[in-house]
Amino acid sequence: MPVKDDLPLPTLRDMLASAHLRLIMFAVLLATASLVLSGGLVIRNYAQRNLELVGRTVAYTVEPAVLFGDREAIRQGIVSVAAGRGIERVEVRDSAGQLLAEWQNPQQGALATLSRAANPVFWPNPAVDQVHRGEDHIAEVRIYGNSEGILRYGLAGTIIALACLGLTVIATRILARQLQSEVVRPLEHVAEVAHAVRRDRAFERRVPASGIAEIDRFGRDFNALLAELQGWHAGLTSENRELAWRASHDGLTGLGNRQMFETTLCGAIDHARRDGSALAVLYLDIDRFKAINDDHGHASGDAALVAVGERLRAAIRQNDLAFRLGGDEFAVLLAPTSGRDQAGMVVERIRQEMAQPFRLPSGVHIAARLSAGVAIFPEDGESGDALLRKADARMYRDKRRDLGSGVFVNA
Amino acid sequence: MLKRLCLALVLLTSSALMTAPGRAMPLAVMADIPLGPAIPGESRYAGAVVRTVRGMIEYTRWPQRNDPLVLCVAGPTQHAGQIGSIRLSDGRRVDRRNVNATPGALGGCHILYLGNLAIALQRQLTEAVRGRGVLTIAEADPSNAAEAMFAFTYKPNGLSFRLNVDAVSRSGLRVDPRVLRLSQGGA
């Protein structure tokens, strides 16, 4: 299967990691945002109450100084109370609205600048408190808030959120690795088995059980499919073998057929020519086979052919090969380096085997005689055809003698 | 934040109350009280003096509530010309009464304003009213040698006063700690 190298597909681990990352990032950001927002609101509320309290305290503190008309004392009273974080500016005005004293937060720096820029947003209105002496209203105190505390909180929240996100990325990687080993490994088992089946025809391989229900189900189905494939494969193989056997063998007797004989003879001649050795071929047919057919029926002819096949097989030696060439014609290819003597011995044994009567389907026992001719390579011919013709001719000569007085094995 | 504020208040109060009796430690002085517009024929400090006296009375608490309060002026004065009848913010009235500069003439006084008298006589008068619930103010004793509770000091552009913590603590009166703190703040 061709694999596109230019655009690599994402692995499951990558997908898991990115999905986790997005999910957890979303969760962390959501939690941080809501926490910072609600915390900011709470702090803002406390700061508002603080402003009001500072206003009350300033009003209380500066009251005598206002009554005495001592501005310096008013200013110092403000400083003693208000000089802390969270207050940007304090003003004390008399009942006519004239400024008696003021104090401004002296803080400098980036945060203070930022805080000043943010003050109108967080503290659009000052906290106001009135200074009374008895019935008389003698002054008004205005406290302007400072957003530095809120900004600090927001900054800390952001830093914590970023730190959490960093941790999240690491945790995501670890989680993805664990999930990969749990999910991907069973899948890899399946892939490995599929590959082995395809490459090595290892139909006996099976996917091991995994700990995940879906993959387990998939694995079971896959294994069932493999079992079916294995069955089909075995069926096909044996069918092929049978077909091949049928193509080269005679269905009735189980001996090799003419085609197989010719192929085998060809190979044997080549072999003998290379080795410079001898080779012997027997050509046989059944005497009066036509009469058996006519007298006892075709089923009896078939039975005679089967009997001849069996006896041939019994008579020949281990490395000799018997064939049915067609009709009542048989051939035997003797084992390599067999000469005329061995051929005579084999023919003699065949005759002995054939001397025993065999039973026909009708219940009659008869004995049949085989006529035989021998051809020797290379004396009687260099080719298979020549050898076969020679053997055939000698077989007919044998048949003509007909008296069964012996085998004519030589010209 | 809240806690810190409360703490500041407590410190404020306690520092005022830590003025232990028996320690002759006159405390100076709050800063300038503006003089205000000058009135022809009057001392240029007169306006500031009457305002300051009123403030001192406002922040002083007597064991019993008296209405009206009697302000006795002893001896000749330079800056008390505008002190007449004063109305306090809670509605009480302060009546001026000129008295002789003798210890026997001080009965019924709630406030003793000491005019331009010899220091020894002033001391005699403050000792006579000590512990009897009389607020003492010295017009002409800038170093507060006579140990009045308040002693005016005069600056070119304003009026100041010294507060004698020892005298306050032995007077039998309560002075608002914020006034004590005012004098501390000016120190």
Whether residue B76 is contained in a domain is answered as yes
pLDDT digits (tens, 9 = 90+) for B109-136: 999 999 999 999 999 999 999 999 999 9
Separation of CA A218 from chain center: 11
- Is residue B102 pLDDT above 50, yes or no? yes
What is the CATH code of the structural domain delimited by A258-401? 3.30.70.270
Nearest to B126 by CA among B110, B114, B117: B114
The full 3-state SS of A40-89, as one line of letters, equals HHHHHHHHHHHHHHHHHHHHHHHHHHHHHCCHHHHHHHHHHHHCCCCEEE
Using the Cβ of A86 and the Cβ atoms of chain B, whether some distance falls under 8 Å is answered with yes
Q: What CA–CA distance (Å, rounded) separates A361 from A293?
A: 12
Beta-ladder partners of B95: B70
- For the entire predicted model, the pTM comes to 0.56
The residue type at A175:
L
CA quadruple A282, A283, A286, A288: dihedral sign: negative
What is the residue range of B161's domain?
Answer: 32-186
Q: What is the pLDDT of residue A1?
A: 47
Pairs of CB atoms within 8 A across A/B: 76
Whether residue B19 is contained in a domain is answered as no
Cα dihedral A287/A288/A289/A290 (nearest 10): 150
Cα dihedral B23/B24/B25/B30 (nearest 10): 120
More confident site: B184 or A93: A93
Q: What is the pLDDT of residue A241?
A: 93
Average pLDDT over residues A214-220: 87
Instruction: Convert A307-327 to b/e letters by CB count within 10 Å (16 or more is b).
Output: bbbebbeebbeeebbbbbbee
Q: What is the pLDDT of residue B125?
A: 94
Whether residue B10 is contained in a domain is answered as no
Nearest to A336 by CA among A250, A274, A402: A274
Our CA-based measurement puts residue B8 at a distance from the nearest CA of chain A, in whole angstroms, of 7
Residue A405: CA count within 13 A, CB half-sphere: 5
Mutation choice for B interface testing from A42, A70, A132 by most B CBs within 10 A: A70
A22 pLDDT tier (thresholds 50, 70, 90): confident
Contact between chains at A86 and B1 (C-beta distance less than 8 A): yes
Which CATH number goes with the domain that contains B69? 3.40.50
Average pLDDT over residues A139-147: 91
* Residues of A taking part in catalysis: 328
The residue type at B90:
D
More confident site: A278 or B138: B138
Q: What CA–CA distance (Å, rounded) separates A304 from B113?
A: 168
Percent of chain A surpassing pLDDT 90:
21
Cβ pair A347, A407 in contact under 8 A: yes
Whether residue B18 is contained in a domain is answered as no
Contact between chains at B2 and A133 (C-beta distance less than 8 A): no
Q: What CA–CA distance (Å, rounded) separates A133 from A179?
A: 75
Instruction: Convert A179-197 to b/e letters by CB count within 10 Å (16 or more is b).
Output: bbeebbebbebbeebeeeb
CA quadruple A383, A388, A393, A394: dihedral sign: positive
Q: What CA–CA distance (Å, rounded) separates B54 from A134?
A: 13
Our CA-based measurement puts residue A94 at a distance from the nearest CA of chain B, in whole angstroms, of 15
Pairing relationship of beta strands B150-155 and B135-138 according to DSSP bridges: parallel
Cβ pair B163, B177 in contact under 8 A: no
Using the Cβ of A72 and the Cβ atoms of chain B, whether some distance falls under 8 Å is answered with yes
Q: What is the pLDDT of residue B57?
A: 93
Contacts 24+ apart (CB under 8 A), A230-238: A230/A203, A230/A204, A233/A201, A233/A203
DSSP, res A180: I
CATH topology of domain A12-166: Beta-Lactamase (3.30.450)
Sequence-distant (≥ 6) Cβ neighbours of residue A379 within 8 angstroms: none
The total of structural domains in chain B comes to 1
Six token digits for residue A166: 């960093």
Average pLDDT over residues A225-250: 91
A402 pLDDT tier (thresholds 50, 70, 90): low
Closest residue of chain A to B53, computed from CA coordinates: A68
- Is residue A350 pLDDT above 70, yes or no? yes
**Helix B177-186 and helix A12-68: axis angle, to 10°?**
90
Contact between chains at A69 and B182 (C-beta distance less than 8 A): no
Q: What CA–CA distance (Å, rounded) separates A63 from A47?
A: 24
Which residue in A64, A77, A85 is closest to B55 by CB distance?
A64
Using the Cβ of A358 and the Cβ atoms of chain B, whether some distance falls under 8 Å is answered with no
The residue with tokens 């009546």 is: B95
pLDDT digits (tens, 9 = 90+) for B15-65: 333 333 333 444 444 456 777 777 777 788 888 899 899 999 999 999 998
Contact between chains at B9 and A57 (C-beta distance less than 8 A): yes
ipTM comes to 0.72
Residue A310: CA count within 13 A, CB half-sphere: 11
Q: What angle do CA B142, B148, B150 make, to 5 degrees?
A: 65
Q: Which residues of A touch B179 (CB under 8 A)?
A: 64
Using the Cβ of A65 and the Cβ atoms of chain B, whether some distance falls under 8 Å is answered with yes
Contact between chains at B4 and A54 (C-beta distance less than 8 A): no
Q: Which residues of B touch A60 (CB under 8 A)?
A: 178
A405 pLDDT tier (thresholds 50, 70, 90): very low
More confident site: A49 or B21: A49
Q: What is the pLDDT of residue B10?
A: 38
Q: What is the pLDDT of residue B160?
A: 84
Q: What CA–CA distance (Å, rounded) separates A325 from A110?
A: 112
Six token digits for residue A312: 């041939």
Using the Cβ of A55 and the Cβ atoms of chain B, whether some distance falls under 8 Å is answered with no
**Burial (CB count <10 Å: 0-12, 13-18, 19+), residue B1:** middle
- Is residue A85 pLDDT above 60, yes or no? yes
Contact between chains at B31 and A46 (C-beta distance less than 8 A): no
pLDDT digits (tens, 9 = 90+) for A289-316: 888 888 888 888 898 899 999 999 988 9
- Is residue B142 pLDDT above 80, yes or no? yes
- Is residue B2 pLDDT above 60, yes or no? no
- Is residue B187 pLDDT above 60, yes or no? no
**Helix A12-68 and helix B2-17: axis angle, to 10°?**
30
Q: What angle do CA A316, A322, A325 make, to 5 degrees?
A: 150
Q: Which residues of A touch B91 (CB under 8 A)?
A: 134-135
Q: What is the pLDDT of residue B22?
A: 37
